[in-house]
């Protein structure tokens, strides 16, 4: 392990040196070839534009590559330093969940075999609750206890859960949706939990792949410092082209997490396990070093409570991963309207969570990701705008070998990153243009979230209810008790 970490450091250093060399070469070059005059064109015969048909100079390419490598190496080096400091910290007041502290406290202790209590928050989930509970009970390592947290249900959710032999706990006077219902359940549950009595929170519209819990228990048994495990999520089949867009997106996100060796961006609400000490520490620090009400595990103000809880645990030094063996299948949105509602909630919630925590060592990576998304919005929009300008201003189509080559690299990346998704995923990735349209849709959602926050608009969400054999139906003004996986910084 020590050699592996040293190898990572050498790679980061090598990338930084390469970036510096490329940047030095770009600055030091003095051979500037005379550029041709730009082409002139008119948009609709009114707006005169100048269009350069030459490829970027080698100097520009070297400078761009050098700056990109230096930025990537800088972010990686800073993230590595932050992670190492948190893991080695002995600051019990600020980082009570730091691995060094936890390992010291639990050394030589046996707290019994690992047990699992599953909380399934549900609001009118009669269409999918049976499949979810069946996937739990059929695990190779079934949970010792399953509790459906029924929040203001008016359908048959409670009856179906009871018929399947699981506990049903009704929320009492809850006005804070999923977060409030879970806080009530955890307030009673956590005092009874020991060090190895894991608590799992799982959405009612998610099914676990077999072996999820067995792998999670093995990980928690082998690593006493591990505070939480999140699932890697994949989209359910169906829902046409829109469903395939989302499945491709989830496949790429899971691939990225695997390449990070499980270091997770967000503990997704689809299915995550926690040590009781981690949840108790969050509740204890609410209103002090963490935003929220003292005693609450989940922040009831947060629009994306799962993302906020991830930030809370990381702010306390908690170690968390998403192992490749822990996979789940989750629902995909069937309509563009439903997808708009879902993604606007995710994006605005992520930004508001970062605003609540500010710029700290633990949130640095997330701020960098949001800046990266913003840059991507500008870059893709500008690229497509320039294509349109060329089409309407020039008399003939101009083929640019440089940009054709860049497009080819991008197309290969789109194909390779969804290869494990099968034929349909590969065809969609290879065609490129449809996924660019989907990316522009996500960019518009991002801009809408920025505008709403800037104008201090009140967030109003629709609760999407699944009815058997039908599409999702919307109830204005309500927020879903279950949440889809949060892709903070994991967007395509």
> The CATH number of the domain where 299 resides is what?
3.90.550.10
**41 and 119 fall within a common domain:** no
How many residues can be counted in the chain?
A: 492
The per-residue pLDDT of the chain, averaged, comes to 82
**8 and 111 fall within a common domain:** no
Distance of alpha carbon 492 from alpha carbon 487, whole angstroms: 10
**118 and 64 fall within a common domain:** no
Give the phi and the psi of residue 272 in degrees, each rounded to 5.
Answer: -145, 145
Q: Say if CB 366 and CB 354 are below 8 A apart.
A: yes
**470 and 492 fall within a common domain:** yes
Structural domain count of the chain:
2
pLDDT digits (tens, 9 = 90+) for 446-465: 889 888 888 877 766 555 55
pLDDT at 377: 86
% of the chain residues with pLDDT over 90 = 29
Q: Of 88, 109, 141, which closes a domain?
A: 88
Most confident by average pLDDT, 185-199, 252-266, 442-456: 185-199
**73 and 117 fall within a common domain:** no
Could you list the residue range(s) of the whole structural domain that residue 60 is in? 2-88
Q: Measured between alpha carbons, how far apart are the two ends of the chain, in Å? A: 31
Q: What's the whole-number mean pLDDT along residues 24-53?
A: 66
**54 and 141 fall within a common domain:** no
Range name among 27-31, 66-70, 88-92, 309-313 with the lowest pLDDT average: 27-31
- Rounded to 5 degrees, what angle do the CA atoms 224, 226, 232 make? 140
Say whether 298 sits in a helix, a strand or coil: coil
**64 and 117 fall within a common domain:** no
Q: What's the whole-number mean pLDDT along residues 399-422?
A: 85
270 pLDDT tier (thresholds 50, 70, 90): confident
pLDDT at 5 over 70: no
- Rounded to 5 degrees, what angle do the CA atoms 293, 297, 300 make? 55
**101 and 74 fall within a common domain:** no
Neighbours of 81 (CB within 10 A): 11
**80 and 189 fall within a common domain:** no
**205 and 320 fall within a common domain:** yes
Nearest 10 degrees: Cα torsion 93, 97, 103, 106: 90
Distance of alpha carbon 421 from alpha carbon 359, whole angstroms: 37
334 pLDDT tier (thresholds 50, 70, 90): very high
pLDDT at 252: 92
| Cα dist from 327 to 92, 161, 229, whole Å | 33, 23, 11
177 token code pair: 């949706």
Q: Using H for helix, E for strand and C for coil, what is the string for 387-412?
A: HHHHHHHCCCCCCCHHHHHHHHHHHH
pTM for the model: 0.79
**70 and 137 fall within a common domain:** no
480 pLDDT tier (thresholds 50, 70, 90): very low
pLDDT at 87: 73
Range name among 58-67, 120-129, 220-229, 453-462 with the lowest pLDDT average: 453-462
Q: Of 31, 64, 88, which closes a domain?
A: 88
Contacts of 50 (CB under 8 A, 6+ apart): 38, 39, 40, 41
**82 and 101 fall within a common domain:** no
Longest distance between any two alpha carbons in the chain, whole Å: 81
pLDDT at 486 over 60: no
Range name among 8-22, 151-165, 200-214 with the lowest pLDDT average: 8-22
Distance of alpha carbon 449 from alpha carbon 369, whole angstroms: 15
Q: Of 49, 66, 88, which closes a domain?
A: 88
């Amino acid at each position: 392990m020590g050699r592996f970490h040293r190898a990572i450091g050498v790679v980061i250093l090598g990338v930084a040196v390469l970036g510096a060399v490329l940047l030095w070469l770009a600055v030091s070059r003095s051979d500037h070839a005379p550029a041709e005059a730009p082409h002139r064109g008119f948009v609709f015969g009114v707006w005169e534009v100048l269009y350069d048909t030459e490829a970027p100079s080698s100097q520009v390419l070297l400078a761009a590559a050098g700056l990109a490598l230096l930025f990537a190496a800088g972010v990686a080096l800073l993230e590595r330093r932050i992670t190492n400091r948190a893991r080695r910290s002995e600051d019990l007041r600020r980082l009570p969940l730091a691995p060094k502290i936890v390992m010291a406290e639990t050394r030589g202790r046996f707290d019994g075999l690992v047990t699992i209590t599953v909380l399934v928050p549900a609001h009118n989930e009669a269409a999918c609750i049976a499949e979810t509970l069946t996937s739990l009970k059929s695990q190779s390592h079934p949970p010792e206890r399953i509790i459906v947290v029924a929040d203001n249900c008016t359908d048959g959710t409670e009856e179906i859960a009871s018929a399947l032999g699981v506990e049903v706990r009704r929320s009492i006077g809850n006005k804070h949706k999923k977060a409030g219902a879970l806080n009530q359940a955890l307030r009673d549950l956590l005092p009874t939990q020991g060090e190895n009595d894991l608590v799992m929170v799982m959405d009612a519209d998610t099914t676990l792949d077999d072996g999820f819990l067995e792998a999670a228990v093995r990980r928690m048994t082998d690593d006493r410092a591990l505070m939480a495990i999140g699932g890697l999520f994949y989209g359910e089949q169906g829902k046409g082209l829109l469903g395939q867009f989302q499945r491709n997106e989830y496949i790429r996100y899971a691939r990225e997490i695997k390449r990070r060796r499980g270091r997770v961006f967000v503990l997704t609400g689809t299915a995550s396990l926690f040590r009781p000490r981690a949840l108790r520490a969050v509740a204890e620090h609410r209103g002090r070093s963490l935003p929220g009400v003292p005693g609450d595990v989940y922040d009831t103000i947060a629009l994306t409570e799962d993302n906020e809880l991830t930030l809370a645990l990381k702010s306390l030094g908690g170690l968390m991963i998403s192992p490749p063996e822990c996979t789940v299948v989750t629902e995909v949105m069937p309509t563009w309207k439903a997808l708009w509602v879902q993604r606007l909630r995710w994006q605005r919630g992520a930004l508001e969570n970062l605003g609540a925590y500010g710029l700290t060592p633990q949130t640095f990576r997330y701020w960098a990701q949001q800046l990266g998304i913003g840059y991507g919005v500008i870059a893709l929009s500008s690229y497509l705008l320039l294509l349109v300008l060329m089409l309407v201003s020039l008399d003939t189509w101009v083929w640019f070998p440089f940009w054709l080559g860049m497009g080819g690299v991008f197309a290969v990346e789109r194909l390779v990153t969804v290869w494990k998704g099968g034929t349909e995923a590969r065809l969609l990735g290879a065609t490129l243009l449809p996924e660019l349209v989907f990316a522009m849709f996500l960019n518009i959602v991002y801009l809408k979230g920025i505008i709403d926050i800037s104008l201090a608009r009140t967030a109003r969400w629709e609760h999407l209810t699944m009815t058997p054999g039908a599409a999702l139906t919307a109830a204005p003004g309500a927020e879903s008790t279950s949440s889809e996986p949060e892709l903070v910084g994991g967007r395509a």
